[in-house]
């Protein structure tokens, strides 16, 4: 007599159920990952702006001359559009630092529509400003970062609740 051997493996139904469960889990976790990724990108952009403000303040003190932090699309001259196009830290004669544009879809706006900040040689008397960094397109995120620069020129970053990105 022949002994019957059983072949081990998955049936088609078992395989379809497994793939369906994996697809559902994937669909649930992807939005969480995108939200965490957005937070990281916002924090990175806010940290870059804060670092540029700190550099401008310290250079003003070190050089004993006014230093400007301003919008720049070309990395050389001050411009007039939004901060998301990039910015420069510059003295009256040369560029100290140039920052590339923000990630696509991000919006960086300054309070009062300011396009430049001036840091004085004493370290105090700088332009007070608040920047909002958020994602405007393709789908607005539910997070924002605020970069605040006080009258003494110190910069700080805060996490803010979402809402309209403008």
Does the residue 83 lie in any domain?
yes
Does the residue 128 lie in any domain?
yes
Mapping DSSP to helix (H, G, I), strand (E, B) and coil, where does residue 17 land? helix
137 is in which domain, residue-wise? 12-161
DSSP of 68-90: EEEE-SSSSS--SS-GGG-EEEE
Residue 99 banded pLDDT, cuts 50, 70, 90: very high
Instruction: Tell me the CA end-to-end span of the chain in Å, nearest whole number.
Output: 81
Does the residue 98 lie in any domain?
yes
The structural domain count of the chain equals 1
pLDDT at 51 over 90: yes
pLDDT in tens, 137-153: 766 667 889 999 988 88
The pTM of this model reads 0.76
Does the residue 124 lie in any domain?
yes
Mapping DSSP to helix (H, G, I), strand (E, B) and coil, where does residue 113 land? helix
Does the residue 7 lie in any domain?
no
CATH number for the domain spanning 22: value is 3.55.40.10
Does the residue 6 lie in any domain?
no
pLDDT at 89 over 90: yes
Does the residue 26 lie in any domain?
yes
Does the residue 1 lie in any domain?
no
More confident residue, 81 or 7: 81
Most confident of 32-46, 78-92, 152-166: 78-92
Neighbours of 85 (CB within 10 A): 16
Residue 1 banded pLDDT, cuts 50, 70, 90: low
Residue 35 banded pLDDT, cuts 50, 70, 90: low
């Amino acid at each position: 007599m022949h002994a019957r051997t059983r072949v081990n493996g998955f049936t088609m139904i078992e395989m379809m159920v497994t793939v369906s469960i994996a697809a559902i889990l994937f669909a649930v976790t992807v939005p969480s990952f995108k939200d965490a990724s957005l937070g990281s990108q916002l924090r990175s952009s806010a940290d870059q702006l804060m670092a540029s403000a700190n550099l401008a303040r310290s250079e003003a003190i070190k050089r004993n001359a006014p230093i400007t932090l301003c919008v720049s699309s070309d990395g050389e001259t001050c411009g007039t559009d939004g901060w998301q196009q990039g910015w420069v830290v510059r003295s009256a004669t040369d560029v100290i630092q140039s920052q590339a544009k923000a990630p696509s879809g991000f919006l960086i706006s300054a309070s009062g529509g300011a396009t430049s900040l001036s840091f004085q040689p004493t370290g105090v008397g700088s332009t007070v400003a608040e920047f909002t960094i958020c994602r405007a397109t393709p789908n607005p995120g539910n997070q924002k970062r605020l970069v605040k620069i006080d009258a003494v020129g110190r910069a700080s970053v805060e996490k803010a609740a979402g809402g309209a990105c403008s």
